Amino acid sequence: SGTNDAYVTITLGKEKFLTSVAEKTVTPGWNEECDLCLGNYSRNLEEASVQLNLYHRSLFGSDDFLGHVTLPLRDI
């Protein structure tokens, strides 16, 4: 059908947040917030980064990986 049921995982170290699923779209978007604790990275903030992985939710089998971006905290 050309559309995706997309969601994003947001990871910082051992912390992980999942967005809601944007259903049946080719241009997913989210207006969501998450809190990630930076206290564990106070000494290594320059080296820490937030990982965002985009997936298509699959009703059968594993979800499909669509893309990835790394955001170094020093750049945010």
The model's confidence at residue 69, banded by pLDDT at 50, 70 and 90, is: very high
- CATH number of the domain where residue 58 is located: 2.60.40.150
The model's confidence at residue 18, banded by pLDDT at 50, 70 and 90, is: very high
Does residue 34 belong to any structural domain of this protein? no
> What is the average per-residue pLDDT within 10-34?
94
pTM: 0.86
pLDDT at 61 over 70: yes
b/e burial code for range 26-52 (CB count within 10 A of at least 16 → b)? eebeeeeeeebeeeebeeeeeebbbee
The model's confidence at residue 45, banded by pLDDT at 50, 70 and 90, is: confident
Tally the domains of the chain.
Answer: 1
Handedness of CA 31, 37, 41, 42 (dihedral sign): positive
Domain of residue 18: give its range.
Answer: 4-28+44-75
pLDDT at 1: 66
